[in-house]
Protein backbone atom coordinates (compact mmCIF):
# COMPACT_ATOMS: atom_id res chain seq x y z
CA UNK A 1 0.00 0.00 0.00
CA UNK A 2 1.24 3.52 -0.72
CA UNK A 3 1.80 5.92 2.18
CA UNK A 4 -1.32 7.90 2.98
CA UNK A 5 0.47 11.18 2.27
CA UNK A 6 1.30 10.25 -1.36
CA UNK A 7 -0.52 12.80 -3.52
CA UNK A 8 -1.47 12.15 -7.16
CA UNK A 9 -2.82 14.95 -9.36
CA UNK A 10 -5.03 13.86 -12.29
CA UNK A 11 -5.27 16.45 -15.09
CA UNK A 12 -7.76 15.60 -17.84
CA UNK A 13 -10.52 17.52 -19.61
CA UNK A 14 -12.79 14.44 -19.61
CA UNK A 15 -14.77 14.27 -16.37
CA UNK A 16 -15.32 10.51 -16.67
CA UNK A 17 -11.56 9.90 -16.96
CA UNK A 18 -10.81 12.14 -13.97
CA UNK A 19 -13.42 10.45 -11.80
CA UNK A 20 -12.50 6.89 -12.70
CA UNK A 21 -8.77 7.50 -12.08
CA UNK A 22 -9.54 9.23 -8.79
CA UNK A 23 -11.76 6.38 -7.56
CA UNK A 24 -9.12 3.74 -8.35
CA UNK A 25 -6.32 5.74 -6.70
CA UNK A 26 -8.32 6.57 -3.55
CA UNK A 27 -9.27 2.92 -3.19
CA UNK A 28 -5.53 2.11 -3.30
CA UNK A 29 -4.82 4.56 -0.47
CA UNK A 30 -3.59 7.61 -2.39
CA UNK A 31 -4.59 11.19 -1.77
CA UNK A 32 -5.99 12.50 -5.06
CA UNK A 33 -6.63 15.92 -6.56
CA UNK A 34 -8.07 16.58 -10.02
CA UNK A 35 -7.93 19.42 -12.53
CA UNK A 36 -10.12 19.87 -15.61
CA UNK A 37 -7.53 21.59 -17.83
CA UNK A 38 -3.84 22.46 -18.12
CA UNK A 39 -4.06 25.90 -16.51
CA UNK A 40 -5.88 24.54 -13.43
CA UNK A 41 -3.45 21.64 -13.29
CA UNK A 42 -0.43 23.95 -13.19
CA UNK A 43 -2.05 26.04 -10.43
CA UNK A 44 -2.73 22.95 -8.32
CA UNK A 45 0.74 21.53 -8.95
CA UNK A 46 2.29 24.78 -7.69
CA UNK A 47 0.03 24.87 -4.67
CA UNK A 48 0.06 21.19 -3.66
CA UNK A 49 3.44 19.87 -4.95
CA UNK A 50 2.12 16.39 -5.83
CA UNK A 51 4.29 13.29 -5.88
CA UNK A 52 2.91 12.25 -9.26
CA UNK A 53 0.83 13.74 -12.07
CA UNK A 54 -1.33 11.72 -14.46
CA UNK A 55 -1.74 14.03 -17.43
CA UNK A 56 -3.75 13.97 -20.66
CA UNK A 57 -1.73 15.30 -23.58
CA UNK A 58 -4.70 16.45 -25.68
CA UNK A 59 -6.60 19.18 -23.84
CA UNK A 60 -8.10 22.50 -24.94
CA UNK A 61 -6.24 25.59 -23.82
CA UNK A 62 -2.92 24.71 -22.23
CA UNK A 63 -1.93 21.33 -23.60
CA UNK A 64 -0.35 18.47 -21.73
CA UNK A 65 2.98 19.32 -23.37
CA UNK A 66 2.85 22.82 -21.85
CA UNK A 67 2.06 21.40 -18.42
CA UNK A 68 4.88 18.89 -18.80
CA UNK A 69 7.30 21.71 -19.63
CA UNK A 70 6.40 23.61 -16.43
CA UNK A 71 6.48 20.72 -13.95
CA UNK A 72 10.31 20.59 -13.55
CA UNK A 73 10.34 24.23 -12.45
CA UNK A 74 7.74 23.40 -9.78
CA UNK A 75 9.51 20.22 -8.62
CA UNK A 76 11.88 18.24 -10.87
CA UNK A 77 11.10 15.06 -8.89
CA UNK A 78 7.38 15.01 -9.79
CA UNK A 79 6.60 11.80 -11.66
CA UNK A 80 4.72 12.70 -14.84
CA UNK A 81 2.68 9.99 -16.54
CA UNK A 82 0.93 11.00 -19.76
CA UNK A 83 -2.33 9.64 -21.13
CA UNK A 84 -2.78 9.30 -24.87
CA UNK A 85 -4.94 7.59 -27.43
CA UNK A 86 -3.55 4.88 -29.66
CA UNK A 87 -3.49 7.33 -32.57
CA UNK A 88 -1.06 9.60 -30.72
CA UNK A 89 1.60 7.12 -29.53
CA UNK A 90 4.22 9.24 -31.28
CA UNK A 91 3.18 12.18 -29.11
CA UNK A 92 3.57 10.06 -25.98
CA UNK A 93 7.09 9.06 -27.00
CA UNK A 94 7.90 12.72 -27.64
CA UNK A 95 6.52 13.55 -24.18
CA UNK A 96 8.84 11.00 -22.60
CA UNK A 97 11.77 12.62 -24.38
CA UNK A 98 10.68 15.88 -22.75
CA UNK A 99 10.64 14.46 -19.22
CA UNK A 100 7.57 12.26 -18.80
CA UNK A 101 8.29 9.07 -16.88
CA UNK A 102 5.94 6.82 -18.88
CA UNK A 103 2.64 6.86 -20.76
CA UNK A 104 -0.73 5.11 -20.61
CA UNK A 105 -2.46 4.45 -23.96
CA UNK A 106 -6.26 4.73 -23.90
CA UNK A 107 -8.12 2.63 -23.02
CA UNK A 108 -6.15 1.29 -20.04
CA UNK A 109 -7.11 -0.98 -17.16
CA UNK A 110 -6.82 -0.11 -13.46
CA UNK A 111 -3.99 -2.62 -13.10
CA UNK A 112 -2.07 -1.04 -15.98
CA UNK A 113 -2.34 2.35 -14.27
CA UNK A 114 -1.27 0.85 -10.94
CA UNK A 115 1.82 -0.79 -12.48
CA UNK A 116 3.00 2.36 -14.27
CA UNK A 117 2.35 4.57 -11.24
CA UNK A 118 4.13 2.14 -8.89
CA UNK A 119 7.19 2.17 -11.13
CA UNK A 120 7.14 5.94 -11.25
CA UNK A 121 6.84 6.32 -7.47
CA UNK A 122 9.65 3.78 -6.95
CA UNK A 123 11.79 5.91 -9.26
CA UNK A 124 10.88 9.01 -7.26
CA UNK A 125 11.67 7.26 -3.98
CA UNK A 126 15.08 6.14 -5.23
CA UNK A 127 15.81 9.66 -6.49
CA UNK A 128 14.92 11.19 -3.12
CA UNK A 129 16.99 8.59 -1.27
CA UNK A 130 19.96 9.24 -3.56
CA UNK A 131 19.70 12.97 -2.95
CA UNK A 132 19.50 12.38 0.81
CA UNK A 133 22.57 10.14 0.69
CA UNK A 134 24.41 12.76 -1.36
CA UNK A 135 23.58 15.44 1.22
CA UNK A 136 24.66 13.11 4.03
CA UNK A 137 27.93 12.36 2.20
CA UNK A 138 28.54 16.08 1.72
CA UNK A 139 27.91 16.73 5.43
CA UNK A 140 30.32 13.92 6.35
CA UNK A 141 32.97 15.34 4.02
CA UNK A 142 32.59 18.81 5.52
CA UNK A 143 32.83 17.34 9.02
CA UNK A 144 35.90 15.33 8.04
CA UNK A 145 37.61 18.44 6.67
CA UNK A 146 36.99 20.16 10.00
CA UNK A 147 38.28 17.12 11.90
CA UNK A 148 41.43 16.92 9.79
CA UNK A 149 42.02 20.65 10.19
CA UNK A 150 41.71 20.76 13.96
CA UNK A 151 42.32 17.27 15.32
CA UNK A 152 45.06 16.03 13.00
CA UNK A 153 46.84 19.02 11.53
CA UNK A 154 47.22 20.93 14.81
CA UNK A 155 49.04 18.11 16.70
CA UNK A 156 51.32 17.54 13.70
CA UNK A 157 52.25 21.22 13.65
CA UNK A 158 53.03 21.08 17.38
CA UNK A 159 55.22 17.97 16.93
CA UNK A 160 57.07 19.62 14.05
CA UNK A 161 57.71 22.71 16.16
CA UNK A 162 59.16 20.62 19.01
CA UNK A 163 61.44 18.84 16.54
CA UNK A 164 62.66 22.16 15.19
CA UNK A 165 63.41 23.39 18.71
CA UNK A 166 65.49 20.26 19.43
CA UNK A 167 67.29 20.35 16.06
CA UNK A 168 68.13 24.03 16.51
CA UNK A 169 69.80 23.28 19.87
CA UNK A 170 67.44 25.55 21.79
CA UNK A 171 66.61 22.73 24.23
CA UNK A 172 70.31 21.99 24.81
CA UNK A 173 72.95 19.77 23.24
CA UNK A 174 71.68 16.60 21.56
CA UNK A 175 73.62 13.43 20.84
CA UNK A 176 74.47 13.45 17.08
CA UNK A 177 72.91 10.02 16.52
CA UNK A 178 69.72 11.07 18.29
CA UNK A 179 69.73 14.35 16.36
CA UNK A 180 69.96 12.42 13.08
CA UNK A 181 66.98 10.26 14.05
CA UNK A 182 64.96 13.31 15.07
CA UNK A 183 65.87 14.92 11.75
CA UNK A 184 64.48 11.93 9.85
CA UNK A 185 61.34 11.92 11.99
CA UNK A 186 60.96 15.65 11.31
CA UNK A 187 61.13 15.03 7.57
CA UNK A 188 58.39 12.39 7.83
CA UNK A 189 56.16 14.70 9.87
CA UNK A 190 56.74 17.48 7.36
CA UNK A 191 55.74 15.12 4.54
CA UNK A 192 52.59 14.14 6.41
CA UNK A 193 51.76 17.81 6.98
CA UNK A 194 52.21 18.48 3.27
CA UNK A 195 49.81 15.61 2.51
CA UNK A 196 47.22 16.94 4.98
CA UNK A 197 47.53 20.47 3.58
CA UNK A 198 47.18 19.21 0.01
CA UNK A 199 44.12 17.17 0.93
CA UNK A 200 42.54 20.19 2.62
CA UNK A 201 43.22 22.24 -0.50
CA UNK A 202 41.44 19.64 -2.63
CA UNK A 203 38.47 19.69 -0.26
CA UNK A 204 38.32 23.49 -0.43
CA UNK A 205 38.44 23.39 -4.23
CA UNK A 206 35.55 20.88 -4.30
CA UNK A 207 33.62 23.24 -2.03
CA UNK A 208 34.49 26.21 -4.24
CA UNK A 209 36.42 27.93 -1.44
CA UNK A 210 40.09 27.79 -2.48
CA UNK A 211 39.85 30.14 -5.45
CA UNK A 212 38.73 33.60 -4.41
CA UNK A 213 37.17 36.38 -6.46
CA UNK A 214 38.76 36.71 -9.89
CA UNK A 215 40.15 40.15 -10.72
CA UNK A 216 42.76 41.58 -13.13
CA UNK A 217 46.19 40.32 -12.04
CA UNK A 218 49.66 40.97 -13.46
CA UNK A 219 51.00 37.45 -13.83
CA UNK A 220 54.43 38.73 -14.86
CA UNK A 221 54.85 40.37 -11.45
CA UNK A 222 53.68 37.20 -9.68
CA UNK A 223 56.08 35.00 -11.65
CA UNK A 224 58.92 37.46 -11.11
CA UNK A 225 58.45 37.20 -7.34
CA UNK A 226 58.33 33.41 -7.45
CA UNK A 227 61.47 33.17 -9.61
CA UNK A 228 63.31 35.36 -7.10
CA UNK A 229 61.99 33.33 -4.17
CA UNK A 230 62.91 29.93 -5.69
CA UNK A 231 66.23 30.95 -7.24
CA UNK A 232 68.28 30.03 -4.12
CA UNK A 233 66.74 26.53 -4.09
CA UNK A 234 67.47 26.15 -7.79
CA UNK A 235 71.06 27.32 -7.32
CA UNK A 236 71.55 24.85 -4.46
CA UNK A 237 70.32 22.06 -6.78
CA UNK A 238 72.69 23.24 -9.52
CA UNK A 239 69.82 24.38 -11.76
CA UNK A 240 69.48 27.75 -13.49
CA UNK A 241 66.08 29.43 -13.23
CA UNK A 242 64.76 32.44 -15.14
CA UNK A 243 62.66 33.89 -17.94
CA UNK A 244 63.25 32.44 -21.40
CA UNK A 245 62.83 36.00 -22.71
CA UNK A 246 62.06 39.35 -21.12
CA UNK A 247 58.47 39.67 -19.87
CA UNK A 248 56.41 42.37 -21.59
CA UNK A 249 56.93 45.81 -20.03
CA UNK A 250 53.17 46.26 -19.68
CA UNK A 251 52.78 42.99 -17.74
CA UNK A 252 50.88 39.75 -18.39
CA UNK A 253 47.34 40.49 -17.30
CA UNK A 254 44.97 37.63 -16.49
CA UNK A 255 41.67 37.33 -14.70
CA UNK A 256 42.64 35.43 -11.58
CA UNK A 257 43.04 34.94 -7.85
CA UNK A 258 46.60 35.81 -6.87
CA UNK A 259 47.01 33.44 -3.92
CA UNK A 260 45.77 30.31 -5.68
CA UNK A 261 47.72 31.06 -8.88
CA UNK A 262 50.88 31.47 -6.81
CA UNK A 263 50.22 27.95 -5.53
CA UNK A 264 49.94 26.64 -9.10
CA UNK A 265 53.22 28.16 -10.29
CA UNK A 266 55.08 27.38 -7.07
CA UNK A 267 54.16 23.72 -7.58
CA UNK A 268 55.18 23.67 -11.25
CA UNK A 269 58.45 25.56 -10.72
CA UNK A 270 59.28 23.49 -7.63
CA UNK A 271 58.75 20.25 -9.56
CA UNK A 272 60.86 21.53 -12.46
CA UNK A 273 63.73 22.16 -10.05
CA UNK A 274 63.23 18.99 -8.01
CA UNK A 275 63.12 16.61 -10.98
CA UNK A 276 65.88 18.32 -12.96
CA UNK A 277 69.51 17.28 -13.38
CA UNK A 278 72.71 19.00 -12.18
CA UNK A 279 73.59 21.91 -14.46
CA UNK A 280 70.08 21.76 -15.87
CA UNK A 281 67.76 24.70 -16.43
CA UNK A 282 64.19 25.85 -15.85
CA UNK A 283 62.87 28.53 -18.20
CA UNK A 284 59.62 30.49 -17.97
CA UNK A 285 58.15 31.57 -21.30
CA UNK A 286 54.96 33.37 -22.24
CA UNK A 287 52.59 34.18 -25.08
CA UNK A 288 49.67 36.61 -25.00
CA UNK A 289 46.78 36.38 -27.44
CA UNK A 290 43.35 38.04 -27.46
CA UNK A 291 41.47 36.58 -24.50
CA UNK A 292 44.19 34.23 -23.22
CA UNK A 293 47.67 34.24 -21.68
CA UNK A 294 49.84 31.13 -21.80
CA UNK A 295 52.79 30.48 -19.49
CA UNK A 296 55.21 27.69 -20.35
CA UNK A 297 57.51 26.21 -17.71
CA UNK A 298 60.16 24.09 -19.41
CA UNK A 299 62.85 22.02 -17.71
CA UNK A 300 65.76 19.84 -18.80
CA UNK A 301 64.99 17.12 -16.27
CA UNK A 302 64.32 13.41 -16.31
CA UNK A 303 61.08 13.69 -18.29
CA UNK A 304 57.93 11.61 -18.04
CA UNK A 305 57.27 8.31 -19.80
CA UNK A 306 54.43 8.41 -22.40
CA UNK A 307 52.36 5.85 -20.47
CA UNK A 308 52.34 8.16 -17.44
CA UNK A 309 51.49 11.44 -19.15
CA UNK A 310 47.73 10.80 -19.23
CA UNK A 311 47.65 10.14 -15.47
CA UNK A 312 49.86 12.80 -13.91
CA UNK A 313 46.89 15.01 -12.96
CA UNK A 314 45.15 12.16 -11.13
CA UNK A 315 44.95 12.44 -7.35
CA UNK A 316 47.74 10.55 -5.56
CA UNK A 317 49.33 9.38 -8.81
CA UNK A 318 53.12 9.40 -8.69
CA UNK A 319 55.57 8.27 -11.32
CA UNK A 320 57.55 5.28 -10.07
CA UNK A 321 61.00 6.50 -9.00
CA UNK A 322 64.15 5.29 -10.66
CA UNK A 323 66.17 2.47 -9.15
CA UNK A 324 67.19 3.46 -5.63
CA UNK A 325 65.06 6.60 -5.68
CA UNK A 326 62.25 7.55 -3.31
CA UNK A 327 58.86 9.01 -3.98
CA UNK A 328 58.69 12.74 -3.41
CA UNK A 329 55.59 14.66 -2.41
CA UNK A 330 51.99 13.63 -1.84
CA UNK A 331 50.93 13.02 -5.43
CA UNK A 332 48.31 15.78 -5.09
CA UNK A 333 50.18 18.87 -6.25
CA UNK A 334 49.48 18.58 -9.98
CA UNK A 335 45.86 17.59 -9.36
CA UNK A 336 45.40 20.70 -7.22
CA UNK A 337 47.13 22.88 -9.82
CA UNK A 338 44.88 21.58 -12.60
CA UNK A 339 41.72 22.10 -10.52
CA UNK A 340 42.77 25.69 -9.71
CA UNK A 341 43.43 26.39 -13.40
CA UNK A 342 40.03 24.95 -14.33
CA UNK A 343 38.35 27.05 -11.61
CA UNK A 344 39.81 30.08 -13.44
CA UNK A 345 38.36 28.90 -16.75
CA UNK A 346 41.80 27.75 -17.91
CA UNK A 347 43.78 24.54 -18.15
CA UNK A 348 47.24 22.97 -17.86
CA UNK A 349 48.78 20.92 -20.65
CA UNK A 350 51.97 18.88 -20.57
CA UNK A 351 54.53 17.66 -23.09
CA UNK A 352 57.46 15.48 -22.12
CA UNK A 353 60.10 13.11 -23.40
CA UNK A 354 62.03 10.78 -21.09
CA UNK A 355 65.56 12.09 -20.58
CA UNK A 356 64.84 15.30 -22.51
CA UNK A 357 62.72 17.31 -20.05
CA UNK A 358 59.13 18.42 -19.58
CA UNK A 359 57.08 21.48 -20.49
CA UNK A 360 53.89 22.51 -18.69
CA UNK A 361 51.71 25.16 -20.34
CA UNK A 362 49.18 27.03 -18.20
CA UNK A 363 46.43 28.83 -20.13
CA UNK A 364 44.43 31.50 -18.31
CA UNK A 365 41.75 33.94 -19.49
CA UNK A 366 42.76 37.57 -19.99
CA UNK A 367 40.53 40.34 -18.59
CA UNK A 368 37.81 41.40 -21.02
CA UNK A 369 38.79 44.69 -22.60
CA UNK A 370 42.49 44.17 -21.97
CA UNK A 371 44.67 45.28 -19.01
CA UNK A 372 43.32 47.87 -16.57
CA UNK A 373 44.08 51.49 -17.36
Task: Tell me what the pLDDT averaged over the chain comes to.
Answer: 85
Which pLDDT value is given to residue 72? 92
Q: Tell me what the mean pLDDT of segment 94-101 comes to.
A: 84
Q: Is 289 helix (H, G, I), strand (E, B) or coil?
A: strand
Question: Are 168 and 194 in a shared domain?
Answer: yes
For the chain, the domain total comes to 3
Checking if the pLDDT of 138 tops 80, the result is: no
Which pLDDT value is given to residue 325? 44
Flag whether the pTM goes above 0.75: no
Question: Are 359 and 238 in a shared domain?
Answer: yes
Checking if the pLDDT of 248 tops 80, the result is: no
Q: Is residue 22 part of a domain?
A: yes
Question: Are 282 and 179 in a shared domain?
Answer: no
Question: Are 53 and 148 in a shared domain?
Answer: no
CA 247, 253, 259, 265 torsion-angle sign: negative
Question: Are 221 and 319 in a shared domain?
Answer: yes
Residue 41 contacts residue 74 (beta carbons within 8 Å): no
79 contact partners, CB below 8 Å, separation of at least 6: 51, 52, 53, 101, 117, 120, 121, 123, 124
Say which CATH number the domain at 219 has.
3.30.565.10
Q: Which domain holds residue 148?
A: 137-206
Q: Is residue 287 part of a domain?
A: yes
Question: Are 338 and 221 in a shared domain?
Answer: yes
Say which CATH number the domain at 70 has.
3.40.50.2300
Which pLDDT value is given to residue 327? 46
Q: Is residue 130 part of a domain?
A: no
85 or 348: which leads in pLDDT: 348
Q: Tell me what the mean pLDDT of segment 74-95 comes to.
A: 81
CA distance 302 to 106: 72
Question: Are 167 and 301 in a shared domain?
Answer: no
Question: Domain ends where: 108, 125, 146?
Answer: 108
Q: Is residue 114 part of a domain?
A: no
Instruction: Summarize pLDDT for 1-55 with one digit per residue, the tens.
Output: 456 689 999 999 999 999 999 999 999 999 999 999 999 999 999 999 999 999 9
Question: Are 360 and 219 in a shared domain?
Answer: yes
Least confident of 60-74, 123-137, 331-345: 331-345
Question: Are 223 and 357 in a shared domain?
Answer: yes
Amino acid sequence: MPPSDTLVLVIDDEEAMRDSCAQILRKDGFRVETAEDGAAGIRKARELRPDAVILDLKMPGRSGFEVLAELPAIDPRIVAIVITGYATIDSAVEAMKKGAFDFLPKPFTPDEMRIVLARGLDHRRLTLETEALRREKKAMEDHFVTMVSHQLRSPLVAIQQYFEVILAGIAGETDPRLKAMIGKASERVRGLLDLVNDWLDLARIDQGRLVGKLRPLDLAATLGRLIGFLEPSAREAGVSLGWSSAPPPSGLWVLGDGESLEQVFTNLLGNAIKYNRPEGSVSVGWTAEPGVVRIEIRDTGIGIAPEHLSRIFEQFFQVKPREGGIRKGSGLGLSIAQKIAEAHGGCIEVRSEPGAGTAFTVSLPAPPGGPPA
